[in-house]
Amino acid sequence: MSLRLPYFATAALSGALFGAGLYVSQMVDPLKVLRFLDFTAIPTGGWDPSLAFVIVPAILVMFVALRIGKTRQAPLFDTSFHEPGQKQIDARLVVGAALFGIGWGMSGICPGPAISLTAFQPDGLWFFLVAMFVGSLAGGLLSPGGSQRRPEEAVA
Amino acid sequence: MESFSPLTASLGGVLIGLAAAVLWLGNGRIAGIAGIFGHLLPPGRAMLWRLVFLTALIAAAWASARLFPQLGAGGVEPSRLAPPPEGWAVPMPVWLVIAGLLTGFGTRIGNGCTSGHGVCGLARLSPRSLVAVLVFFSVAILTVTVTGIV
């Protein structure tokens, strides 16, 4: 059990970096995200490409981390890497992504910003958050056994 | 283009990438917020680290706004959500509930969101995530075009 404190400290550090990143990049601001998603503004010069400047560096940093991880048997504070196991591109993936796309386009809010926004309490946020939780639970009921929940989850 | 902010966007992106890197190399976990959020309730196992992660996420957003108000939202807290598009005659709570349900349900059955598929999945060069990202970006852009919400 000696690994528990570093394990949770790592989760806290990661969450904190994520929250700071969402704020600094302004991706917590749904209106800014919508100004990226509004491609009709490209011809008029009103488009805001900032979101692309957030996600590309994030991917590059994570790409390097994954390469470092490949040189190790296990992460520092757990017994194995929890690789996402699914490989097939199926209807669930495409339908799920499409439904999420509608919700995201309606609001400019994806899950990370939705949760970070509780720090700022904009009017109406709780309607979105509670609905997102209910929607997630409903989706979980449709995945028998929970496709993300594999036996090694018990480790932590 | 007056709101375009490449420097703070890139800095924030590096922080988000570091967050994902720390969680992967430290705990072997994917920093996908939808998944972390979706597995909070019983019978979700491994709930405690998820709770710690999300609490730190909120606390850091709050603290950043106070420590670095000149970064980020330019000193203005993101104090409002987008109202429903004009002329649609949908009350804002209804609009937000529909958007929230679609976001929660869609990310759950699709196994990921902007962070899980977008950041981590693309970095893993996962074909599944590439498909998911192309679909949710395209549909979101189409939704904004159709609703004219901006």
pTM of the predicted structure, to 2 decimals:
0.93
What's the average model confidence in pLDDT over A77-91?
92
pLDDT, chain B, mean: 91
Q: Is the dihedral of CA B95, B99, B104, B109 positive or negative?
A: positive
Domain boundaries, chain B: 1-79, 81-150
Residue B68 is predicted with a pLDDT of 83
A3 touching chain B per CB within 8 A: no
Confidence bin at A152 (pLDDT 50/70/90): very low
Q: How far is A81 from chain B (nearest CA, A)?
A: 4
ipTM of the complex: 0.95
**What pLDDT does residue B134 have?**
98
Q: How far is B116 from chain A (nearest CA, A)?
A: 10
Average pLDDT of A10-21? 98
Tens-digit pLDDT profile for residues B23-76 = 999 999 999 999 999 888 766 668 899 999 999 999 999 999 988 877 755 555
Residues 103-142 of B with CB under 8 A from A: 103-111, 113-115, 117-124, 126-128, 131-133, 135-142
Contact A84, B35 (CB under 8 A): no
The domain locations on chain A are 4-155
Evaluate whether B15 touches A20 at the Cβ level (below 8 Å). yes
Cβ <8 Å between A136 and B108: yes
Mean pLDDT on B74-102: 87
Which one has a higher pLDDT value, A113 or B2?
A113
The Cα–Cα gap between A97 and A104 comes to 10
Residue B103 half-sphere exposure toward CB, CA atoms < 13 A: 33
Instruction: Give SS3 for A5.
Output: helix
Using alpha carbons, list the distances in angstroms from residue A149 to A3, A152, B6, B38, B108: 22, 8, 37, 11, 12
